[in-house]
Structure 1
Amino acid sequence: MIPVQLVTGFLGAGKTTYMNRLLEATDERLLVIVNELGSVNIDEQLIVKMDQEQIELSNGCICCSIQSDLSKTFYQLASKNTFDRIVIETTGVADPAPIIQTIYYDDYLRTRFKLTAILTVVDASQMDRELFIEGIHQIAYADVILMNKVDLVDDATLEQAHERIKALNPTVRVIETVQTAGDYDLTENTFQLSRVDEQLLGQLTDGHTSVSSLRAITLTTDVPLKRERVTQYVREVLMHYEDDVYRLKAIVRLDGETSKFVVQATNQLMGATFANEPSDDSRSVFVWIGKNLDRDALARGLQACEVDA
C-alpha cells in the first residue's frame, strides 16, 4: 500500500516551511498534494521548486467543497507506481476528519493507501488565543505536533502551550522546533499506537481535562477484559456519539493474554492489534477525546468489559 502523510496546522504556523524542509531533505519520490483557499495557490508559490511531482487542488478547502476531487485524485493515483509516499498539506482552516474518511470509508482506496501519520504544526506564540474549532480538531487528531517558533516565547508561555495541547490530546508526541527544524524522523508509521504511546498511556491517571467543549477522558481498570466485550464497547460508543468522538487510544489487558491489546479509533473508524512485546503493567488504559462525552457512561461501559462482570 502507498503511505500517506497528512500535514495540517494553524494559519502561519509553518506548514510550508516544513514542506520545504521535507522536499529538500528527502530521498523518497514524493507526490505532494497542496491546496489553499482562493483562486491563487499561495502555498504553491512559496514552496521551493523541486524535482517532485505535485498535484494542486485549488479553489476550495481540501476537506470541504473539493473533497470529491481528492477522492478522484486518489483513484487516479492508485494505478501508478512512480512515487514512494504521498504528502497532503491542508489549509490552515481544514478539518482532518473528512480527509481520513476519504481514505478509510472507500473500500477500494482503503486497500491501496495507508494513512501513516497526521502531523500538526502549531505556533507556540499563538497558543494563548482562543482556538477555532478546526484548530482544536487539528490538535485532537494529531499523532505528532511540531511546536514551532519556540524561540519567540518565554518559558512560562511555552509551558502553557504544552499544557493546552496535552489537555486536548494527552498522548500526542510534541516536538519543539524553530523554523520547523528539529531532530526527528517523520517517515515512520505513527498513525498506529507506538511503544511511546503505550508508555504515555501508562503514565496517565484516572480523570479528565477539558478545553472549550472538547474533553479528554482517561479511564483505567486493573481487572482483565474480555476481547469481544471491548470490541463491542468501542463500537457502541462510536455509534452513539458519532462525530463527537475524535480519537480513542487504548492499551488493553485481555483475559488470558500476556501482550497488551492496542486499540485506536478515529472518527468512527476502529483498528486493533497486539503489541509487539509482553507488558508487566496489569492496567488497561482508555483515553477518549471528543465533545459532549459522558464520563460516567463511558466508565460503566468499560466496567461491563471486565472478565467478572
Structure 2
Amino acid sequence: MREDKKPPPPFPLTLITGFLGAGKTSLLNRLLRDPLAAGTLVLVNEFGEIGLDHLLVERVDGDMLVMTSGCLCCSIRGELIAALEDILRRRDNGRIAPFDRVIIETTGLADPAPVLHTIMTHPYLALRFRLDGVITLIDAVNGSDTLEAHEEAVKQAAMADRLVLSKTDLLTNGEGLPELRARLARLNPGAILLDAAQGQATPEALLNLGIYDPDQKLPDVRRWLNAEAYPARADHDHPPGSHAHAVHRALDVNRHDARIRAFCIRHEVPLSAMALDLFIELLQGAHGPKLLRLKGIVALADDLARPLVIQGVQHVFHPPRRLPAWPDGDHATRIVFILRDLDQAFVDALWRAVADIPSPDSPDRAALTGNPLAPCKAGLLD
C-alpha cells in the first residue's frame, strides 16, 4: 500500500521592499550569488506592462518568475496567490527543481501589508510558507527626502525586520547619514540597521530571521523579537518641558514619522489564554489597520513551561505557535508593537484591562509582586 506523500516543512519566505531606486535588484543579485541562498526561487514584481528589472537579475541556482500586470500591493494580489500555488504544484510534481526558500521583490510603490496578508490568510499558502522576514532598503542619498515626501516609504521602514542602507559610499563625508540613521531608529527601533556598502547586508544577516524553525529546535526569540531595542518609555510620558520632550520635538518634525509609534510591553505575570484572546480581538476589531506589526512571546497560565509565540500584521494574525520550552531564562511576556495613528496609552489601557493590572496610581498596585507591566529592557540584558 502506497503511503501518501506529505508536504515538506513550510518554506521560508522573505519580502524585499524599498522605495524606487533604493537598490533592491542589486541586493537581490548579491544574495543569489551566495551559497546560503542556493535553492531560492524569486518572484520579481514590476509596475507597468513591460518588465525591465528582471533583465538585471542574474539567474543563479533557481527559477525566477516575473509578474508584470501591476503593483503587487493591490492589482495582482490574486496573481500572487496563483503564482505561489503554481510553483508549489510544479515543485511537488517535479516539473521544476526543488526550491528551499522564496524571495519576493516588490515594486517600490508597494505597501508590504497586503503581500503579508496573502501569505498569512490563505489556508494553503499559510500551510506551505512561513514568513521569514521583511527587508527594507533605504537609499542613503535620497532616503531623507523620500521619507519626507512619501508615506509608503515610512510604512516600509516601520514594518521591516531588517533595514538596509544603500549608497552610503556615494555620500560626501557621510553628510546626512547620522540624521537618517537616527530617524530610522525612531521609526523602527527593533529592526537591525545594516550598511550595504560596508558589506553588512550578508545572507547571514538577512535570511533565517523568523521564529518558525523547521528543525523543531528552540528558536532564537531574542534575535527575532529584539525587544531590548525599544524605548523604555513612550514619548508622551515625557513632560512637555523636559529635555527629552524637546529633543523628540526637534527630531520628529515630519508628519509621516509622527504617525508611527514603536514600543514593547513586558508583563511578568502569566496571562490566561482568554485574556490574551480578548486583547487581540479588541485590538484587531477596533484598530486593526493601525497595527502595522505585532510580535511577541507570551507566558500563559495554563502551561507555564511552554510559551506562545504570536505575530500579526494589521488585522491579520499568523496562527500562534507553542514552543516546546522557553528559549532562555527570561520567562516574561514581551510583545512588540508598531502602530500608526494609535497612541501607546490606548494599548497600555487595553492591556491593563484584560490582564487585570491595577493602574499606576491604584493603591492595589503596591500589593503586586514585582512590576507586572515593565519596560522591555528589564531583565533582557542580564
Alignment TM-score, normalising by the size of structure 2: 0.71
Shift of 1:58: 0.8
Shift of 1:213: 2.1
Matched letter for residue 270 of structure 1: F
Equivalent of 2:141 in 125, 139, 161? 125
Give the conservation status (yes or no) of the 8 Å contact 1:119–1:142: yes
Match of 2:262 among 187, 203, 216: 216
Distance in structure 2 (CA, Å) of the matches to 1:191 and 1:147:
24
Deviates more, 1:33-42 or 1:151-160: 151-160
Match of residue 229 from structure 1:
275
Cα distance in structure 1, aligned partners of 2:12 and 2:327: 25
Deviation, 1:180, is 6.5
CA gap 1:58/1:217 in 2 versus in 1, 3 angstroms: same
* Other structure's SS at 2:141 match: helix
Unpaired segments of 5 or more residues in structure 1? none
Q: Deviations over 1:171-212 (max 9, x none)?
A: 112212218664451331436683224453376302148713
- Once the two structures are superposed, the pairs formed by residues 15-26 of structure 1 within 5 Å of their partners are 15-26=24-35
Question: Which residue of structure 2 aligns with residue 38 of structure 1?
Answer: 48
- The structure-2 alpha-carbon separation of the partners of 1:276 and 1:161, relative to structure 1 and needing over 3 Å to count, comes to farther
Aligned to 1:292: 341
Displacement of 1:124 in angstroms is 2.0
Q: Deviations over 1:93-134 (max 9, x none)?
A: 111111112112211221122221211111122232215122
Query: What is the rounded CA distance, in whole Å, between the counterparts of 1:19 and 1:187 in structure 2?
Result: 12
8 Å Cα contact 1:103-1:109 kept in structure 2: yes
Match of 2:67 among 26, 47, 57: 57
CA contact (8 A) 1:24 1:50 kept: yes
The equivalent residue for 1:139 is: 157
Distance 1:202 1:8 in 2: 22
Q: Does 1:190 align with 2:210?
A: yes
- Give yes or no for contact 2:42–2:102 (8 Å, CA) kept in 1: yes
Considering only aligned residues, what root-mean-square deviation do their CA atoms show, in Å? 2.8
Please tell me whether the aligned partners of residues 148 and 180 of structure 1 are also in contact (alpha carbons under 8 angstroms).
no
2:169 maps to: 151
Work out the CA distance in 1 between the residues paired with 2:182 and 2:328: 31
Length, aligned pairs only = 308
In the TM superposition, residue 92 of structure 1 has moved relative to its aligned partner by: 0.7
Sequence identity percentage:
30
Give the whole-Å Cα distance in 1 for the aligned partners of 2:170 and 2:277.
Answer: 45
1:292 maps to a residue whose letter is D
Where do 5+ consecutive residues of structure 2 fail to align?
Answer: 1-9, 92-96, 213-219, 236-247, 359-382
* Secondary structure in structure 1 of the residue aligned to 2:125: helix
1:164 equivalent to 2:164? Answer: no
Amino acid at match of 2:288: E
In the superposition, the TM-score normalised over structure 1's length comes to 0.87
